[in-house]
Structure 1
Amino acid sequence: MGEDGEVSEAGLTPDGYGDLLAQLKAHVRGARLKATRAVNTELLVLYWNIGRAILDRQDAQGWGTKVVERLAADLRAEFPDMRGFSRSNLHYMRTAAGSWSREAFVQQPVGQLPWGHITTLIDKLDDPALRDWYAAAAVDHGWSRAVLTHQIRTQLDRRVGAAPTNFNEHLPPGDSDLAHQLVRDPYVFDFLDINERVAERELEAALMSRLQRFLLELGHGFAFAGRQYHFTAGGDDFYIDLLFFNWIQSRFVVVELKVGKFEPEYLGKLGFYVSWVDDNLRDHTQHAPTIGILLCAGRNDQVVRYSLAGTTAPLAVADYTYDTLPAPVRELVPTDDDLATAVAETITNLDSHT
C-alpha cells in the first residue's frame, strides 16, 4: 500500500502517483471542456451561416416560408444522422443571423451558450439589448435553460438593484455599486406552495425547505450561514431570521422577513443585527462591510426613504411576492379587503330589502 492507499498490478504504487493521476485527470477534463466548447462554436457558426444564407436569398429573391419547409426536408434527407434541421429550427437560424453579426454571434457571450438557450432568448425577448444582457448573465452564472426562462419571466433585468437603499451614503462608491447588485426588488418566491397569508416563521420555514431555489432568487454567490442565528449582547438573546455569506463579494448579508407592510421600526432591529455581525463575524482584513436586506410585503417608498436616512447601517428594503399570477392578471384579482367590503355591502343590501 503506497502513500495514496492504492495498489498497482506491479506491486506498491510509486511515490507521487496520486498527484500525477490528479494532474492528468485535470488535463483530460480541461481538454474535454475545450472540445465541447469548440464543437458548440462550430455548430453555432454552421447555424448562423445557414440562417444568413436563407435570409439573404429571401431578401434578394423574395422567397417565402414554404421554401424553408422544403429546405428542412431536403437537409434532413441528405443528413439523416444530424439533428437540428427542422422547419422551426431553420427559422431560429434565420432569426439569429438577423439579430447578431457573425462576429458578435461567436465572440460575445451569446456564442458561449448552447443552442437551446439561444432559441429561448429569441422566443422570449424582442429587444436585442435585453437578449445580450440575459446571455451575459447566463454565461456568468451558468444558468440552465429552465433557470434562464425563469429569470426572463420574472424580469430579473428590472429587479436587480431596484430596491431603495442607503448604500451610497454608508459604503465606499465602488463597494456601494457592488452591494446594489446583491439586491432585487421585488423578490419572487413563486416556488412556494403558499396560497394564503402566513406568519413570518411559516414563510421562513417554507423558504428554508426550498433553500436551493431561494438561493437562486437571492442571486449569484450566496451561501446559507444560519436560520434564527442566535447571539447574545450584554446578556440578552437575539435571533437573526436569515444569515447569508456572499462569497463573490466576500460579505455577510443579514435578511429579515416581515409578512406585512414596511414599518420604520423594522430598520432599527435590522441595523442592530448588521452592526453586530460586522463587529463579531466579519474579518475586517478580508471581508467587505456587512449589509442588511429587509423583505416585506409592501411599502410606502416615502416612509422607507426617511427611515433609511435615519440609520447609519447599509440597508435595503425590498418587496417580495409569492403570487404566481402575472402582474396584469394579479391587478384584476380582488384582495382580502376588497372581498370583505363586497360581503359587507351585500349583507347591507339584503338587510335593506327585508
Structure 2
Amino acid sequence: MAYREAYFEEEQQGQERADYGVFLIKELSRQLIEEFGKGFDERELRRMRQFYQTFSIRDALRPELSWTHYRIILRVDNPTARQYYITETAEQSWSTRQLERNINTLYYERLLSTQSKREALLDQEKMEKSSSFDVIKNPYVLEFLGLENPVGYSESDVESAIISNLQAFLLEMGKGFSFVGRQYRIKTDTKVFYIDMVFYNYILKCFVLVDLKINELTHQDIGQMDMYVRMFEDLKKTEGDNPTIGIIFCAEKDHTLVKYSMLEENKQLFASKYRLVLPTEEELRVELEREKQFIREQIERKG
C-alpha cells in the first residue's frame, strides 16, 4: 500500500514538473518575443533546449554548420548517423536543402548497407586494398531529375536529365566524383562503342563507367559492362590509375541473377537500382532490408 502511494505521489510530482516546464517555456517565449521580437516561439525554444541537450559539449560543434543545419540534424535519432551528417555537411559543404534530402533518403543507411556488403564479400587483405564498396550505394534516388515513374521514357531521356542535373547527380553518387563524358567513344581495331557516362573518382583514383537501363537487369547488360571495363582497362587507363569500376543503373535487379552471374565475384562490377521518385522512408528501409537479407544468404552459403 505504501509502495502504491509513493508511486502515485512520484507520478503526480512528475506531472507537476512537466506542467511547470510547459508553463516556463510559454512564459519565457512571451518575454523573449516581447524583448527581441520574432524567432522565440515555444517550438523554437524546445529546439534550443534539444540542441543544448544533444550538443552539450561545445567542442563537438562545427562552425561550418548554420543553426538551420543543426535544426535539421536534430531530427536524426541515431547518434552515429547524426555525427556522420555533421561531418559530411562540414567537409562536403552541403546546403541545408542537400542535407535535408540526404537525411530523407537515408543516405547514411544506404552507405552503411554497402559497407556491410563489403565486409561480407571481401577478406581482410582485400578490404585493406579496396574502398570502392564505400561509394557504391543501392538504391540511388534520382527524384531531382523530374521524371515520373512509370511514364514512358527512354534511356536517352534519363541520361539527358542527369546531364541537366549533373551537380545534384554527382552529390548523390558520393564523394570524389567528377564528370568525364557522355556517350563516351571507345574504339577497337574493328568496332566503335559508346558508354553512357564516364566519371573519374579522385579518391579511388579510378575511372567509373555508368550504363543506364530502364528495365530489369539482364545477363546481357552485365556482359556488356564487363566488356566496357576490360576495354577501358586496356585502352584508356593510365599508369597510377586503380582498376576501372563499372556500375549498371537498372530499374529492377534480380538477386538470383546477381548470385549466378559474374557480379558475384567480380569486384569491379556493380548493379544498383535507381528510383526516379522520392520513396517513403519505409520503402527505403524495406529496400535496405532486402539487400541485407541477400548478404546474409551469401554469408550462409559461403560459410
TM norm structure 2 = 0.77
- Distance, in Å, in 1 between the alignment partners of 2:94 and 2:281 is 25
- Distance, in Å, in 1 between the alignment partners of 2:97 and 2:161 is 22
My pick for the range that moved more, 141-150 or 272-281, is 272-281
SS at match of 1:283: coil
- Tell me the residue number matched to 2:134: 181
- Tell me the residue number matched to 2:48: 93
Report the Cα offset of residue 133 of structure 1. Answer: 2.1
- Distance, in Å, in 1 between the alignment partners of 2:63 and 2:161 is 38
TM norm structure 1 = 0.66
- Distance, in Å, in 1 between the alignment partners of 2:231 and 2:24 is 68
- Distance, in Å, in 2 between the alignment partners of 1:329 and 1:272 is 34
Correspondences of 1:185-224 after superposition (within 5 Å): 185-195=138-148, 196-224=151-179
Do residues 261 (structure 1) and 224 (structure 2) align? no
Tell me if structure 2 keeps the 8 A contact 1:242–1:255: yes
Tell me if structure 2 keeps the 8 A contact 1:296–1:320: yes
Cα separation, partners in 2 of 1:95 and 1:298, compared to 1, 3 Å = same
2:81 pairs, out of 130, 140, 164, with 130
- Tell me the residue number matched to 1:245: 200
- Tell me the residue number matched to 2:9: none
Cα separation, partners in 2 of 1:109 and 1:239, compared to 1, 3 Å = farther
1:69 pairs, out of 26, 38, 46, with 26
Report the Cα offset of residue 309 of structure 1. Answer: 5.1
- Tell me the residue number matched to 2:6: none
Report the Cα offset of residue 206 of structure 1. Answer: 1.8
My pick for the range that moved more, 298-307 or 148-157, is 298-307
Count of residue pairs the alignment pairs up: 264
Tell me if structure 2 keeps the 8 A contact 1:253–1:293: yes
Correspondences of 1:7-18 after superposition (within 5 Å): none
Question: Relative contact order, CA 8 A, sep 6+: which one is greater?
Answer: 2
- Distance, in Å, in 2 between the alignment partners of 1:327 and 1:310 is 28
- Tell me the residue number matched to 2:60: 108
1:322 pairs, out of 261, 276, 294, with 276
Correspondences of 1:16-165 after superposition (within 5 Å): 62=18, 63-79=20-36, 84-100=39-55, 102-103=56-57, 106-108=58-60, 112-122=64-74, 124-160=75-111, 162=113
Tell me if structure 1 keeps the 8 A contact 2:185–2:193: yes
Tell me if structure 2 keeps the 8 A contact 1:226–1:244: yes
Alignment-mate amino acid for residue 190 of structure 2:
G
SS at match of 2:231: helix
Deviations for 1:159-196, whole angstroms, at most 9, x for unmatched residues? 22646789848x942342x2112211111111122231
Percent identity reads: 28
Cα separation, partners in 2 of 1:94 and 1:245, compared to 1, 3 Å = same
Deviations for 1:121-147, whole angstroms, at most 9, x for unmatched residues? 12x322333222222221221111000
Tell me if structure 2 keeps the 8 A contact 1:161–1:182: no
Tell me if structure 2 keeps the 8 A contact 1:264–1:303: yes
Alignment-mate amino acid for residue 141 of structure 1:
Q
User: Which structure 2 segments of 5+ residues have no match?
Assistant: 1-13, 285-303
- Tell me the residue number matched to 2:249: 295
Cα separation, partners in 2 of 1:107 and 1:60, compared to 1, 3 Å = farther
- Distance, in Å, in 2 between the alignment partners of 1:313 and 1:153 is 29
Deviations for 1:194-247, whole angstroms, at most 9, x for unmatched residues? 231322122212221221221121112211101110011122111111100112
Alignment-mate amino acid for residue 81 of structure 2:
L
Cα separation, partners in 2 of 1:77 and 1:214, compared to 1, 3 Å = same
Tell me if structure 2 keeps the 8 A contact 1:270–1:294: yes
Deviations for 1:4-37, whole angstroms, at most 9, x for unmatched residues? xxxxxxxxxxxxxxxxxxxxxxxxxxxxxxxxxx
SS at match of 1:160: helix
- Distance, in Å, in 2 between the alignment partners of 1:109 and 1:316 is 37
Tell me if structure 2 keeps the 8 A contact 1:275–1:313: no
- Distance, in Å, in 2 between the alignment partners of 1:223 and 1:141 is 14
- Two-structure CA RMSD over aligned residues (Å): 2.9
- Tell me the residue number matched to 1:232: 187
User: Which structure 1 segments of 5+ residues have no match?
Assistant: 1-57, 331-354
SS at match of 1:252: strand
Deviations for 1:255-280, whole angstroms, at most 9, x for unmatched residues? 11111111122122111211222233
